[in-house]
Amino acid sequence: GDVNSNVLVSRSTGDAQLDKAVWQWLSWDKNQKTKEQIESLLQDGKHRELRERLCCRLSFGTAGLRSAMGAGFCYINDLTVIQSTQGIYKYLERNFSDFKQRGFVVGYDTRGQVTSNCSSKKLAKLTAAVLLAKDVLVYFFSTYVPTPFVPYAVQQLGAVAGVMITASHNRKEDNGYKVYWENGAQITSPHDKEIIKCIEECVEPWNGSWNENLVDTSPLRQDPLKKICDSYMEDLTKICYHRELNVQSSLKFVHTSFHGVGHDYVQMAFRAFGFQPPIPVPEQKDPDPDFSTVKCPNPEEGESVLELSLRLAEKEGAKVVVATDPDADRLAVAEQQESGSWKVFTGNELAALFGWWMFSCWKENCSQDADVRNVYMLATTVSSKILRAIALKEGFHFEETLPGFKWIGSRVKNLLDNGKEVLFAFEESIGFMCGTAVLDKDGVSAAVVIAEMATYLQGQGLTLAQKLVDIYEMYGYHISKTSYFLCYDPATIKRIFERLRNFEGPESYPKCCGAHSILHVRDVTTGYDSSQLNHKSVLPVSRSSQMITFTFQNGCVATLRTSGTEPKIKYYAEMCAVPGHSDRSVLEEELQKLIGALVEEFLQPAQNELTWRSA
pLDDT of 25 above 80: yes
> Residue 46: which residues within 8 A CB-CB, separation 6 or more?
none
Q: Is 366 exposed, middle or buried (0-12, 13-18, 19+ CB in 10 A)?
A: middle
CATH of region 478-612 = 3.30.310.50
Return residue ranges of the chain for CATH 3.30.310.50. Answer: 478-612
User: What confidence tens digit (pLDDT) does each residue in 445-478 have?
Assistant: 999 999 999 999 999 999 999 999 999 999 999 9
Q: What's the confidence (pLDDT) of residue 98?
A: 97
User: What confidence tens digit (pLDDT) does each residue in 45-101 have?
Assistant: 999 999 999 998 988 776 689 999 999 999 999 999 999 999 999 999 999 999 999
Q: Is 604 exposed, middle or buried (0-12, 13-18, 19+ CB in 10 A)?
A: middle
Which residues form the catalytic set?
168
Instruction: Output 302 or 79, whichever has higher pLDDT.
Output: 79
Pairing mode, strands 547-552 and 556-562: antiparallel
> Residue 64: which residues within 8 A CB-CB, separation 6 or more?
176, 177, 178, 179, 186, 187
Amino acid at 111: R
* % residues pLDDT > 70 (the chain): 97
pLDDT confidence bin for 4, thresholds 50/70/90: low
> Tell me: domain 239-475, CATH 3.40.120.10, correct?
yes
Angle, helices 443-459/347-365, rounded to nearest 10 degrees: 70
| Bond prior to 297 in cis (omega within 30° of 0) | no
Amino acid at 220: L
Closest CA to 160 of 189, 188, 139, 135: 139
Q: What's the confidence (pLDDT) of residue 343?
A: 98
Return residue ranges of the chain for CATH 3.40.120.10. Answer: 27-224, 239-475
Pairing mode, strands 253-256 and 320-324: parallel
Q: What's the confidence (pLDDT) of residue 10?
A: 52
CATH of region 27-224 = 3.40.120.10
User: What confidence tens digit (pLDDT) does each residue in 371-393 have?
Assistant: 999 999 999 999 999 999 999 99
pLDDT of 566 above 90: no
Q: Is 555 exposed, middle or buried (0-12, 13-18, 19+ CB in 10 A)?
A: middle
Q: With the C-alpha atoms ordered 31, 34, 38, 44, is the resulting torsion angle positive or negative?
A: positive
Q: With the C-alpha atoms ordered 503, 505, 511, 516, is the resulting torsion angle positive or negative?
A: negative
pLDDT of 539 above 80: yes
pLDDT of 615 above 50: no
